[in-house]
Structure 1
Amino acid sequence: MKSVTYAITAALALAGATAAPSSAQNAMNAQPVELYACTFKEGKGFGDLENANKDLKKWASKHSRGYNAWMITPQFRAGEEAFDVGFIGAYANAEQFGSQMDKWVNESGDVSQAYVDALDCSHGLMASYTVLEPEGGPGGGVVWFARCSLDDDSSMADAMAGHTTVSDMMVEMEAPGASWMFAPSLGGGDAEFDYYHVAAWPSYPALGKAFEAYMNGGGIARANAAMDDVSHCSSPNLYDAVNIVAAP
């Protein structure tokens, strides 16, 4: 993909179950998340990625520790430049990111070449801050991304507090989704927003339950009050996510 480095932001240790309460989770500690936003080269398609993803999983099992990766495809989207497929890689910490990127650049050989042959991609790095952590191991599901801009005199810490209030509300309403804030880091260009708010669910029924609670159960009014004079976010775009590498 040519110019959409952050169109599919995420890093998603996507929930395999329900999300855990957030009260003790919100220290502003950044974790690195890499993003690829890609379009297929002429004559290439998803069939060309099947073997590439299998080879990636095998390679990662030998060369990567604590690394999770997902393939993302658009489902509900407006206001973003089009792309065909994305890949998200989540690292436990920055030192792990550095050592594993070194291996990927210098040792991946035919494994990385398979993606180069099929795709044109942008590559960016985000600083991920966990608002509401999912329970269980990495899995697939659905994830949304909303572009958010801080209001005057507001900070990322203020936004974290606001999103935490909203996430705790959704836990109370028994319709939580895991949640993060992603700030552009490397390769972001001149982003016209401060961060992405990212939310993920393990399935469409789980998303539907959250939608009902938020839109028709009084959640939206409480959320607007929590975020008033803190930040404002665009309508989210929704993507399907398939886990292709699970941390050993």
Structure 2
Amino acid sequence: MNKTLVSILTFLVAATCGVSVHAQQSGPRAAPVDFRACDYQSGKGAKDLQKVVERFRTYANENKFNYAAWIMVPQFQNGQNYDVGWLGAWPNSEAFGVSMERWMSEGAEMAAAFDAVLDCSARHEMALWVPINAPRSTPESGVLMISQCTLHDGQSTEDAYRAHVEMGDHMRGLGSMASSWLFYPMLGTGDIDYDYYHAVAFYRYSDMGAAIELYANGGGYKKARETVEKVAHCSAPTVFDVTSVRAFDE
């Protein structure tokens, strides 16, 4: 991957909206999201995690953390060698910095409770996410599909965003209930061979099935060839069952 971090940051700070940089002042803004891949400690499981999650929700609410989080369990996957994922998000990078400082200075007891149930030491990454078709409210529990995408030679992150917006709008027009985002890897990813993640969420499997039907038999794949596939190659997605831990506005 030869794309520079500077080009990605320039694209994101411009808050792309599928139009020129000068016209993007009111467009969607990038915000940080982090992911931890975790395994259960010996003898621990989902019930133990749920107890810690309830304790964390109370802790975050009492301390007014501007933070949303979800538990992700791999469902349709190939080679995901962890038990659960923890996805966290902030409304902006300033909120990320403040909450990280508070967590590291005041959250030792809460962190120890998590560590007693989960080992998340192997993988911790941060990305910036930009909405394509997404609700203004915090996404809830449901199903999440994530693909790794690599830009074709000569294509840019802005080209990819425009293509995904066009494809997302087309699928919405067909009746798809999907919400979607692009995630741009930033911290902790190491030397990766892809440029961004494409994330697509549904509230239920029936909505996902209906979208697959529209894609496969409703002509959606033809639009994909005209849009996304011209600028990037995206892998077959991994599918996660996602449970909301807390929303931003709790």
Q: Same fold (TM over 0.5)?
A: yes
Amino acid at match of 2:88: G
Structure 1 residues 217 and 242, CA, compared in 2 at 3 Å: closer, same or farther?
same
Residue 116 of structure 2: SS of its match in structure 1?
helix
Structure 1 equivalent of residue 48 of structure 2: 48
Q: Deviations over 1:198-240 (max 9, x none)?
A: 0001111111111110111110111111123300100001001
User: Retained in 2: the 8 A contact 1:63–1:103?
Assistant: no
Amino acid at match of 1:242: T
Q: Which segment drifts farther, 48-57 or 116-125?
A: 116-125
User: Retained in 2: the 8 A contact 1:64–1:100?
Assistant: no
Distance 2:65 2:114 in 1: 21
Unaligned runs of 5+ in 2: 1-16
Structure 1 equivalent of residue 150 of structure 2: 149
Using the size of structure 1 for normalisation, the TM-score is 0.86
Q: Give the deviation of 1:135 after TM superposition.
A: 5.3
Structure 2 equivalent of residue 87 of structure 1: 86
Q: Give the deviation of 1:134 after TM superposition.
A: 2.1
Q: Deviations over 1:10-65 (max 9, x none)?
A: xxxxxxxxxxxx88999473210011111112222112212110111001102234
User: Retained in 2: the 8 A contact 1:167–1:176?
Assistant: no
Residue 37 (1) aligns with residue 37 (2): yes
| Structure holding more helix per residue | 2
Structure 1 residues 159 and 40, CA, compared in 2 at 3 Å: closer, same or farther?
same
Amino acid at match of 1:243: S
Structure 1 equivalent of residue 219 of structure 2: 218
Residue 94 of structure 2: SS of its match in structure 1?
helix
Structure 2 equivalent of residue 111 of structure 1: 110
**Paired residues, number:** 226
Residue 166 (1) aligns with residue 167 (2): yes
Q: How does 1:61-140 map to 2 (within 5 A)?
A: 61-78=61-78, 80-121=79-120, 122-134=123-135, 136-140=137-141
| Identical amino acids, percent of aligned pairs | 35
Give the alignment's Cα RMSD to 1 decimal.
1.9
**Which of the two has higher C-alpha Rg?**
2
Residue 146 of structure 2: SS of its match in structure 1?
strand
Amino acid at match of 1:203: R
Using the size of structure 2 for normalisation, the TM-score is 0.85
Residue 53 of structure 1: SS of its match in structure 2?
helix
Q: Deviations over 1:87-120 (max 9, x none)?
A: 1111000000000011111111321111112222
Residue 210 of structure 2: SS of its match in structure 1?
helix
